Structure 1
C-alpha cells in the first residue's frame, strides 16, 4: 500500500519530485562538474526561484550546506566574537544553544516551557549579545513565533544580528529580509525532498562581521566553508567544494512550481489546512492541541496530545495508508505530530481527519 506521509521530516515528497528527478537523470545532472557553466546556470536558476519565492533581496546571498544543523555552527563561527543570545522553547532551539556552548561562545538563554511560545514583549536581549538566535517554527513542540514579533525584535535591537531557523516552516513565513540578517532551512520538510541539502541565507552585514573576525589573531571562523569563502564563490554561482548538485537542481524546480502557484496561495492553503486540523483537535475527546495559545500554534507542524498511547493512533493511521509522526523526546508516547506542508493536499488532510475520527 502506498503511504501518505504526514511526518515532520523527512516528509511527503512534493508531487512533482519524481518528474524532476527523472529529468535530472535524463540530463545527467548528477555527473556535471561544479566548475562548469551548466552548474553555474543551474545554481543561478535556483537562486532566482528562491529569491522570488521568499522575497530575498540582493543584499543577501544564498548558500548550500549539507544540512540545516550545519548552519548552526557556520553562523556561530562567522557572526559571533564573544556572545550569542538564544530563545529556547524546544529541542531544536536548545541544540542551537548547545552548539554555541560547544564552540566556547558565551551563550545567553531565555527559555520557555516546552509547548509555549515567545511574544516580542517577553524578550530581553542582553546588552553585549551580538547574535539573536530564534526558531520561527520549533519542530519538536509545534510552536511558531509570529513574523511580526521577529521583525519588532530587530527594530528594537537594530545593531544586533538576527538569525531565524525556519527549517520546518519555509517557505511559509513572510520574513522581511531588510530586518532579517540570516535564515536557514533544509529541504526534507516543507520543500518535499529527501534529506541531504541545507540552505543558508546571509546578509552583507553577516559577511562584514565574518571578514572582521577573520582578521583577529586569536579568532577562528572555522576551516570548512567559511562565509567569506562561500560568498567569494557565490559571486560566480559556484561553491567551494562539490555540492549536492542533483538536489540544488530539484530545489530550483520545486521552487519554480511553488512560484507558479504563488506564495500567497501557498500560505493561504497552509493556513486553511491548519485550521481544519486544529478545529478537529479542539472538538475531539480523543485529542487536544498541545500548544494552548492559538497565536503560538504552528501552521506547519501540528502537535496533539492523545488520550490513548500515540503508538495506537500511529498504528491505526498506518494501516489506513497514512504515516504520522510521534511526539518528540519524552512526549513520544503521549503525542503525535502532523506535518502540514505544501506536498499534502486538502483532500489528504480531510482523509487523515476522517481516519482519526474513526
Structure 2
C-alpha cells in the first residue's frame, strides 16, 4: 500500500522523527506525568532552550505556551491594547486577527491588499497613535509573504507602537532579527511538523510593561493566560493550567533535531524546493501561481490557480500517487490548490511532486 505524504498547509506531514519520539514518550509515560513535577519542568526547560536556539530568540525575550496561535491573537489584544490596533491584511488569517480586534471593541483599522498581493510598507500610512501594529509574515491562505526587510521598515517608521508578527506558517524558515519586533507567535502543526494543539508566544519587556500599565489603569487583561499569569509560572518552567505535555515534549525533541541538522541547511533546502516548484508552475499551461511578485511569493505555502481542469482532478491525481495537497482556502477551493513546503517534506518527495505535475496533461 502506498504511503500518503501530506503536503497540506496545516496540519501537515509530521516531522520524520516524530513517530520515534512518540514511542519514547509513551515508554517513559510522558503523557501521564504531573505538570507540577520536576520531570515536566525539565521537559519545559529543554523545549524552551531548543526553540530559542532554533529561532535565535534574544535572552531578554519571554517565551510561553498557549493552546493555539488563534488564542494569542486574543491574548495580545487583551493584554497589550486598550483602544486601537492596525492590521496589514492580505488573506483570511490576517483578516481574522482584525476581526478579533473589532469583536473585543477596539478601534481596529486595516489596510487590505487584494488576494494574492503583498505590501510595500513605505507606501502605507500608519496611524501615529496606534497601540499595536499587526503583521503576518506568511499568509497561509494566499501564499503571500511579507519580506523581513519590509518588517524592519515598519519598525523604523513606528518606534512607539508594539509590532507583533504572525509566523504560523513561517517558522522555522523565516530568518528574522527579533529585536526589530515586540512579539512573534506560531503554532506547531505547520513548519514544526507536529500534531495540532500548541501555540508558542514570544514577547519582550515592552509587551509586559504595556500590560502592567493597562492593569494599573483598571483594565481587565484576562485570567489564567494573561501575561502576568503566564510569566509567573514560566519562571519555574511551568504553565498556569494542565498543558499539552506531550506536544511540548515533542516540540523540544523536534527543535533539537532541527538544530542538530542546522537551520541554515533546512532553509536552503526549502529555498531549493520552492524555486523548483514555482519554476514548473510558471511554465505549465495548467497552472498559474496567484502571487505574481516573486519577492512576495511564500517559500512555505505555494498557492496556484488551476487552469483548464478542476482542482479536484489535480488533487485526486496526486493522491493516487501518495501525495496529498491542499485545496484553495475558503471560496478559492473552486480554482486553486495549496502545496506546503515544510522541513519534513524531503527533496525526494518534491522531485516526485514535480515529475507528476510536469506529466499532467
Provide Cα deviations, 1:203-246, integer angstroms capped at 9, x if missing partner. Answer: 111011111111222x2112241011101111111111111011
Structure 2 equivalent of residue 67 of structure 1: 68
User: Any residues of structure 2 matched to 1:39-50 within 5 Å, and which?
Assistant: 39-50=40-51
Partner of 2:217: 216
Give me the whole-angstrom Cα distance separating, in 2, the residues matched to 1:342 and 1:186. 15
Q: Please give the per-residue CA displacement for 1:5-56, whole angstroms capped at 9, x wherever unaligned.
A: 1100010110000001111111101111111111111111100101110000
Query: For residues 187-336 of structure 1, what are the structure 2 equivalents within 5 Å?
Result: 187-217=188-218, 219-307=219-307, 308-336=309-337
Unaligned 5+ residue runs, structure 1?
Answer: none
Structure 2: any 5+ residue segments left out of the alignment? none
Hey, what does 2:102 align to over in structure 1?
A: 101
Partners of 2:280 and 2:134 in 1: CA distance: 33
* 3-state SS, counterpart of residue 48 of structure 2: helix
Aligned to 1:8: 9
The Cα shift of 1:345 comes to 0.6
CA distance in 1, matches of 2:82, 2:106: 8
CA displacement 1:300-355 (0-9 Å, x = unmatched): 00001001110110011111111000101111010010000001011101101111
Alignment of 1:175 onto 2:176: yes
1:144 & 1:89 partners in 2: Cα distance? 9
Scaled by the length of structure 1, what TM-score is found?
0.98
Tell me the CA shift for residue 299 of structure 1: 0.2
Instruction: Answer yes or no: is 1:76 the counterpart of 2:80.
Output: no
Tell me the equivalent position of 1:91.
Answer: 92
Helix, strand or coil: the match of 2:298?
Answer: coil
RMSD: 0.9
Whole-angstrom distance in 1 between the partners of 2:123 and 2:27 = 53
Q: Deviations over 1:124-162 (max 9, x none)?
A: 211111101010000000000001110121122111111
Do the aligned partners of 2:118 and 2:145 also contact (CA within 8 Å) in 1? yes
Indicate yes or no: 2:34 matched with 1:33.
yes
Counterpart of 1:118 in 2: which secondary structure?
Answer: coil
Shift of residue 357, structure 1, vs aligned partner = 2.0
Structure 2 Cα separation of the partners of residues 323 and 123 of structure 1: 38
The TM-score, its normalising length taken from structure 2, stands at 0.97
Count of aligned residue pairs for this structure pair: 357
3-state SS in 1 of match to 2:180:
coil
Question: For the residues of structure 2 that align with 1:276 and 1:150, how far apart are their CA atoms?
Answer: 26
CA distance in 1: counterparts of 2:224 and 2:239, whole angstroms: 12
Shift of 1:122: 2.4
Q: Is the 8 A contact 2:61 2:203 kept in 1?
A: yes
